[in-house]
Structure 1
Amino acid sequence: MTMIQCISPVNGEVYAERPAVDAATASAAVARARAAQKGWAKLAIEDRVKLVMAGVARLNEMVDEVVPELAWQMGRPIRYGGEFRGFNERSNYVAAIAADALAPIIVEDSASFERRIERVAHGVVFVIAPWNYPYMTAINTVAPALMAGNAVILKHASQTILVGERMVRAFVEAGVPEDVFQNIFLDHGTTSALIAAKSFDFVNFTGSVEGGRSIERAAAGTFTGLGLELGGKDPGYVMEDADLDAAVDTLMDGAMFNSGQCCCGIERIYVNENLYDDFVEKAVAFASAYKLGNPLEQETSLGPMAHKRFAAEVRAQTAEAVAKGARALVDPKLFPADDGGAYLAPQVLVDVDHSMKVMTEESFGPVVGIMKVKNDAEALALMNDCKYGLTTSLWTKDAERAARIGQDLETGTVFMNRADYLDPALCWTGVKETGRGGSLSVIGFQNLTRPKSYHLKKA
């Protein structure tokens, strides 16, 4: 029997473990979901929405348990209160638009013909959620999928093994049928086998590029729909007319929050030469002000990375950059809690270039490189010199200029004067090795359903 374990970054010990189910048990769970989905889809949309939102409310009632559990599992300090703000914002928005997003498109309703296009649930949706924002990333698909009439099977990363269990418990306690929304513990082999056997009608995966490739290989030839949100190396560009203090505060928070473990976190910054020196000085002060420590203590503002191997990769990228001529400006003596393991001090690098992995490969940690640029053309070339494309953050007072640059950016979302945010009214999507598909917004509902046309001749 394979045991799935969460090794807590707080103390390096096993925090929770669950046995992975075998293929037969997993297939039986999917069969129950498929049987239950028919009745769930026949409920009125408003009834499904009401039950899903009751599940959201029930999870909110568990806040005193959820927040410390997250700290133990993946290291986010309790002072930030979990993920409830984004979790609720996204749930509320998709609930508000569900009826309109799923409404039939009426082409003709006359004495002679009734012609319409309806949105029909896929059936069973498989959600594979990551550990970095385990509640928010899951709800991006879980809420609209259930509202649209799908059954959902949820599998969380081992690092946040308790999250799926708690989500399902909350929703079932609120009235969602237990076979319609199920949590399951799976190893990689069984996961791939289920996908290859066409067990699911749609698979949504958030995780690494290699994980996404594994999902695509498993699904090859099955014609199963896939939504993939994979790696990122999101840039910020600070133009000469930017609000400097606002740019520093937002971009550096985007680089360091959650110990840099954000899908759309800022991993590289390009600053116009006129503001460069001031930006760097303020950025170093910002990073130096963090308190690295035990995430269960209220004064801690920067917790450990989720696993020591993730921190090791950031250290390796930083060391490589320094060996190639970069300078690390944050004094490590300010962070005595840095233990060489999961607890990692923040760092700001200058004199960096794109020969260094820290500027081209996903870091997913509390390090950011800052480069000086002369103009928009140079910044644009550097921002696009990347195999990923999730979000880009532009800083200027000129919206037309931002939009013009945005047209040439190879990215899923263009931000102006903000960063590291997911707007549920807009499609969350990426290009290049960041993946394909899109969640949330009206488009998210479209991806979680299929069109079905009716051409009814009356006379």
Structure 2
Amino acid sequence: MSISSINPVNGVIIKTYQEDSADQIHQKIDQVHQAWLSYKETDFKSRAMLLLQVSKLLTERKDQLAKLMALEMGKPLKAGVAEVLKCASVCEYYAENGAEFLADQSIKTTAAKSYVSFQPIGVVLAIMPWNFPFWQVFRFLAPALMAGNCGVLKHSSGVTGCAIEIEKLIIDAGFPENVFKTLICSSKAISGVIENPYIKAVTLTGSTEAGKKVAEQAGKLIKKTVLELGGSDPYIILSDADLKKAAKICAEARLINNGQSCIAAKRFIVVKEVVEQFTALFKAGMASKKTGDPLLDDTDLGPMARAELRDELHQQVLKSIKQGAKCILGGEIPVTEGEHAYYQPTILTGVKKGILAYDEEIFGPVAAIITADDTKDAIHIANDTNFGLGAAIFTENASLAENIARNKLAAGSCFVNEGVKSDPALPFGGINQSGYGRELGMFGIHEFVNIKTVYIK
């Protein structure tokens, strides 16, 4: 069996890879486990130096890796370079802070000495998606390696080239042999990978349905999981917001990564006093983005990752219109020859409960504008979802904004007057159907360690 990387610009096969057999997969996992038995004994300083070398290599190879992302999943070059540099920053972050995060913590009890120690657990399986081929992996891998764990990666088949380059980066940085390996296989092989006794935990970024399947199997085997799943992030715009600034941020937040991000803005909830003014500014911002070849420096919006994803998105738009939404921008598949998986920036207005664009996640450059009666109604609409990944609010009332962000919005991350984004220093993850557990920050590195109590009388 084989898998192929396909250029979403033109549908041409970039490269075909031979899949690992079941025996080859388990042999790789065994190799990583054997490497872990030694690697777990290394000190924090040694691990940190290796992570800093990875950071250096990422920075040196940023243009090469950005081009690979453009070819395999359509990310514009400037966005690809930014992604690689963000990976470099997360390696630096854990190299600089990991030892402190994992230092023994003394706890006062009746014992002569009692403390908590954080120890590596072994081989972590990462199941990662195509939309951020490097960042999704490094935000798991950097803390895992700093904690003394090892890893195996089952990446999305369409970005196999990126997966291979990540393994090469770890090798070239000087990490001990086999501390990290890429499995070249389809999703059908995941079940057998999770069952391998050397796999101690699983982290998955992907759809809610994929998360359910992985959680079910891992749960039966009592293996810990961290799940970062779908999202339908609400952006609330109140009447006193700086509308020009809000519209600019919202357009960028909707179109990030060609609209294919779990934390891309999805639902724009605007109080009725300013909905017309915001919509006009937002439409201008969306329309101004240049769609084109992701290999060109001035391209803002490339193709979607695959033609079938574009077609599914278009059907969501058509169904939403049929249910009562109005399309005021885009909503059409380009007919230009060679535009294999492109979709125009699209805005739907008049979106209400019961319309697909209100109720479901839309994974592409399509925005849903929902009118709210007032602040209370806007908060209700924002929370009227099965998801809970990120949320944002735009208002000039700082105390009101903080109260809403902290106490009213049901999400793992809430941003004020800024688009939702991940940061190496801040925990990242969701609630409800958006998953559980946290990546990044101090909390992220604690997910896959044995938090051990030591009590000495």
**So what's the TM-score if we normalise by structure 1?**
0.95
Which residue in 2 is equivalent to 1:49? Answer: 48
How far apart are the structure 2 equivalents of 1:91 and 1:268?
A: 33
CA spacing shift, 1:410–1:337, aligned 2, 3 Å: farther
How far apart are the structure 1 equivalents of 2:141 and 2:86?
A: 14
Contact 1:429/1:439 (<8 A) preserved: yes
Are residue 360 (structure 1) and residue 359 (structure 2) matched? Answer: yes
Query: Offset of 1:428 from its aligned partner?
Result: 0.5
Contact 2:330/2:344 (<8 A) preserved: no
Provide Cα deviations, 1:372-418, integer angstroms capped at 9, x if missing partner. Answer: 21212111111111111100011112232123223122211111011
| Identity in percent | 28
Which residue in 1 is equivalent to 2:294? Answer: 295
SS of match in other structure, 1:220: helix
Which residue in 2 is equivalent to 1:418? Answer: 418
Which residue in 1 is equivalent to 2:255? Answer: 256
Are residue 441 (structure 1) and residue 441 (structure 2) matched? Answer: yes
Contact 1:27/1:194 (<8 A) preserved: yes
Query: Offset of 1:109 from its aligned partner?
Result: 11
Contact 1:292/1:335 (<8 A) preserved: no
Deviates more, 1:390-399 or 1:144-153: 390-399
Contact 1:292/1:338 (<8 A) preserved: no
Provide Cα deviations, 1:334-391, integer angstroms capped at 9, x if missing partner. Answer: 9775978511111111111121112221111000011221212111111111111100
CA spacing shift, 1:333–1:268, aligned 2, 3 Å: closer
For 2:65, give the aligned amino acid.
V
How far apart are the structure 2 equivalents of 1:396 and 1:339?
A: 43
CA spacing shift, 1:398–1:78, aligned 2, 3 Å: same
Deviates more, 1:302-311 or 1:77-86: 77-86
For 2:272, give the aligned amino acid.
E
For 1:437, give the aligned amino acid.
G
How far apart are the structure 2 equivalents of 1:424 and 1:337?
A: 40
Contact 2:58/2:85 (<8 A) preserved: no
Query: Offset of 1:16 from its aligned partner?
Result: 2.1
Which residue in 1 is equivalent to 2:312? Answer: 313
Are residue 79 (structure 1) and residue 78 (structure 2) matched? Answer: yes
How far apart are the structure 2 equivalents of 1:383 and 1:438?
A: 22
For 1:352, give the aligned amino acid.
V
Provide Cα deviations, 1:285-335, integer angstroms capped at 9, x if missing partner. Answer: 111112222212233221100001111121111111211222211257997
SS of match in other structure, 2:329: coil
Deviates more, 1:68-77 or 1:9-18: 9-18
Provide Cα deviations, 1:59-83, integer angstroms capped at 9, x if missing partner. Answer: 2222232111111111011233431
How far apart are the structure 2 equivalents of 1:174 and 1:340?
A: 38
CA spacing shift, 1:244–1:338, aligned 2, 3 Å: farther
How far apart are the structure 1 equivalents of 2:80 and 2:143?
A: 24
How far apart are the structure 2 equivalents of 1:358 and 1:86?
A: 31
How far apart are the structure 1 equivalents of 2:336 and 2:402?
A: 43
Provide Cα deviations, 1:255-275, integer angstroms capped at 9, x if missing partner. Answer: 012210112000110112222
SS of match in other structure, 1:89: helix
How far apart are the structure 1 equivalents of 2:338 and 2:430?
A: 35
Contact 2:329/2:346 (<8 A) preserved: yes
CA spacing shift, 1:456–1:124, aligned 2, 3 Å: same
Alignment size in residue pairs: 455
Which residue in 1 is equivalent to 2:393? Answer: 394
Contact 1:125/1:202 (<8 A) preserved: yes
Which residue in 1 is equivalent to 2:427? Answer: 427
Contact 2:36/2:149 (<8 A) preserved: yes
Displacement over 3 Å in runs of 4+: 331-341
SS of match in other structure, 1:329: strand
Contact 2:48/2:94 (<8 A) preserved: no
How far apart are the structure 1 equivalents of 2:63 and 2:408?
A: 45
For 1:43, give the aligned amino acid.
T
For 2:444, give the aligned amino acid.
G
For 1:432, give the aligned amino acid.
N
Gaps of 5+ in 2: none
For 1:75, give the aligned amino acid.
G
For 1:329, give the aligned amino acid.
I
Query: Offset of 1:236 from its aligned partner?
Result: 0.2
How far apart are the structure 1 equivalents of 2:296 and 2:307?
A: 20
Provide Cα deviations, 1:11-47, integer angstroms capped at 9, x if missing partner. Answer: 1121122222122211111111111112111111111
Which residue in 2 is equivalent to 1:10? Answer: 9
Which residue in 1 is equivalent to 2:38? Answer: 39
Query: Offset of 1:423 from its aligned partner?
Result: 2.2
How far apart are the structure 2 equivalents of 1:338 and 1:158?
A: 26
SS of match in other structure, 1:328: strand
Deviates more, 1:173-182 or 1:332-341: 332-341
SS of match in other structure, 2:124: strand
Contact 1:16/1:161 (<8 A) preserved: no
How far apart are the structure 1 equivalents of 2:175 and 2:27?
A: 19
Which residue in 1 is equivalent to 2:94? Answer: 94
Which residue in 1 is equivalent to 2:113? Answer: 114
CA spacing shift, 1:369–1:333, aligned 2, 3 Å: closer
How far apart are the structure 2 equivalents of 1:189 and 1:74?
A: 21
SS of match in other structure, 1:270: strand
Contact 1:267/1:359 (<8 A) preserved: no
Contact 2:26/2:196 (<8 A) preserved: no
How far apart are the structure 1 equivalents of 2:421 and 2:145?
A: 24
Query: Offset of 1:173 from its aligned partner?
Result: 0.8
CA spacing shift, 1:388–1:332, aligned 2, 3 Å: closer
1:210-225 equivalence runs, <5 A? 210-225=209-224
Gaps of 5+ in 1: none
How far apart are the structure 1 equivalents of 2:19 and 2:175?
A: 24
How far apart are the structure 2 equivalents of 1:433 and 1:62?
A: 36
Contact 1:428/1:440 (<8 A) preserved: yes
Contact 1:52/1:143 (<8 A) preserved: yes
How far apart are the structure 2 equivalents of 1:442 and 1:332?
A: 42
How far apart are the structure 1 equivalents of 2:64 and 2:308?
A: 27
**So what's the TM-score if we normalise by structure 2?**
0.95
Contact 1:76/1:295 (<8 A) preserved: yes
How far apart are the structure 2 equivalents of 1:7 and 1:194?
A: 25
How far apart are the structure 2 equivalents of 1:14 and 1:389?
A: 37
Are residue 105 (structure 1) and residue 105 (structure 2) matched? Answer: yes
1:157-196 equivalence runs, <5 A? 157-196=156-195
Deviates more, 1:38-47 or 1:86-95: 86-95
